[in-house]
Structure formats: C-alpha cells, structure tokens
Amino acid sequence: MFNLILFGPPGCGKGTQSTNILTTYQLNHISTGDLLRDEVSRQTTLGLEAKKFMDNGLLVPDEVVIGMIGSKIDGNRDARGFIFDGFPRTTAQAEALDNLLKEKNAAINTVLSLEVPEEELVRRLVSRGITSGRSDDTEEVIAKRIKEYFAKTEPVAGYYHSFQKLVRVPGNGSIEETFAILKKEIEKHISPA
C-alpha cells in the first residue's frame, strides 16, 4: 500500500492536485472536507453538528473526523493506497491515522506539503467563493480558516518532519507545474497505474 498525505493551508490546491494524482496512480481519495459536506447536505446528525464549526471556520472535533476516516479505510481494504486530503489537521488526528494504518500493516509513506503565500491563498479562496456556493468561502470565514490552520494544523508538518516524511513543494506555480513537481516526488515511491 502507498499512502500519501497532501498537506497545506486552505486554498493551496490540495483538492485540484488530488484529482490529478488519484487518476494517474489509481489511489483512493479521502477528503474530510468532502465527507463532511456530504453529511451536511444529507442533514445527518453528524452533519448538523459539523456545520456549526465549518460555517465559523473552525475545525470539527477530532473524534468526529477520526471516526469518519476509520470507516472509509475499512470500507476500501483492497485499495492500492490512499491520498489523504485535508486530513490530518491536528497532531491528535495524525497519531490516530498512524494507529489506523498500523492495524492494516500500512503506514504513511510521504507527506507533500504545498507551500503558497498567504495573499495568494486569500485571493484564490475569495475567487472560488464567487462560484463554489460554499458557505465558508466568504472573506470573514476565510480569514478564520487560515488562522485556525496556522494555530492547529501547521504543527502537524513538524510531526511528520520528525519521521523524515515531510517534503515541502512550491504550490504557487500553475496547476501543471505543481503537478509535475508532485509526480516527481510520488514516483520515488510508486509508478503510474
């Protein structure tokens, strides 16, 4: 199994690059943002609880997100590997993910961190907000999401750095340029499917 984390702040391009990667390498995509938005749109108990945090730009509590990930991994036992997008976002989530993968005799192979200057993040998120219809893509909530990222999620990079798994990748070039850099890193581990 090859397991990859695509890491970085809101607006860094994780979603776009995940789509490129998963089609090229046949990996299963796990995006906690997408899973949560699906729960919200189905108005499940989990979704109604999560929405309060999401609409305020805050992280959803760890136990909620970790439970969702556990059932996703269990439901895809034959996967070639997973690409985790928007997860883990706290050190507690990172430790929980390590334990979940250990149970499957697997581990995180690499963490690719997309580095984009803050002004560019805001510009991208505001422009996405015009078409996305996402209730958290307003300037006020974007500012809170970025603040939450630097407070709680950025430290997760240090966690993976301590295991020599973190690779920092410039994410402010074009989509194609960024994908080319990511491919080079991924192909140190696996070939296209």
Q: Which residues bind ligand ADP (CB under 6 A)?
A: 10-11, 32-33, 36, 53-54, 57-60, 65, 86-87, 89, 93, 136, 145
Residues linked to residue 2 through DSSP beta bridges, in sequence order: 81
Closest-approach residue to ligand ADP (CB): 33
Nearest to 73 by CA among 28, 33, 36: 28
Task: Please identify, using beta-carbon distances, which residue of 91 and 109 lies nearer to ligand ADP.
Answer: 91
Tell the smallest beta-carbon distance from residue 87 to ligand ADP (Å).
4
Strands 28-31 and 2-7: unpaired
Tell the smallest beta-carbon distance from residue 115 to ligand ADP (Å).
15
CA distance 138 to 143: 9
Task: Please identify, using beta-carbon distances, which residue of 44 and 192 lies nearer to ligand ADP.
Answer: 44
Residues 6 or more apart whose CB falls under 8 angstroms from that of 49 comprise 60, 64
Task: Please identify, using beta-carbon distances, which residue of 27 and 65 lies nearer to ligand ADP.
Answer: 65
CA distance 189 to 111: 12
Task: Please identify, using beta-carbon distances, which residue of 134 and 165 lies nearer to ligand ADP.
Answer: 134
CA distance 77 to 89: 23
Tell the smallest beta-carbon distance from residue 69 to ligand ADP (Å).
8
Task: Please identify, using beta-carbon distances, which residue of 101 and 190 lies nearer to ligand ADP.
Answer: 101
Tell the smallest beta-carbon distance from residue 52 to ligand ADP (Å).
9
Tell the smallest beta-carbon distance from residue 32 to ligand ADP (Å).
3
